Amino acid sequence: MSGVIRRETAVFLISVLHGAALTFLYDLLRALRRSFRHSLPVLSAEDFLFWLLAGALTFCLAFRETDGVIRDYVAAGILIGFLLYHFTISACAVRILSGVFTLMYRAVSFPLRVFSTVFRKIFGFFVK
């Protein structure tokens, strides 16, 4: 196999991983949204920032791996990576991540609630 074909195969596999990684990043957002309430402006800002990041990362991939030349096999690789990740482990990953985020929230919020209750009672005593 020639070096050119080997290199293009490597770039294709990198683009498959890139598509799966971008989908995982979006699954992180999905898990956060399941764990915490978000208003519509916050949702819009999150989506905007995600797509800005995804575009920048994809540009960096194209610039670094193909010298900025748009290759069909890179776009196909990103799409295949997205489809493979989305239809295999995406739902499980979102479920696990949202559970982890909920546990982290509970682990942090309980001590804070106890501390704030004690704090209010102490200062309420001095205010009276």
What does the pLDDT look like over 83-97, one tens digit per residue? 999 999 999 999 999
**How confident is the model at residue 120, as a pLDDT?**
79
Tens digit of each residue's pLDDT (9 = 90 or more) over 21-73: 999 999 999 999 999 888 999 999 999 999 999 999 999 999 998 888 888 99
| Rounded distance between C-alpha atoms, residue 103 and residue 36, angstroms | 12
Name which of 75-79, 105-109, 123-127 the model is least confident about. Answer: 123-127
Q: What is the DSSP string of 2-70?
A: -HHHHHHHHHHHHHHHHHHHHHHHHHHHHHHHHHS---HHHHHHHHHHHHHHHHHHHHHHHHHHHTT--
Give the mean pLDDT of the chain: 91
9 compared with 119, residue with greater pLDDT: 9
Whole-number pLDDT of residue 70? 81
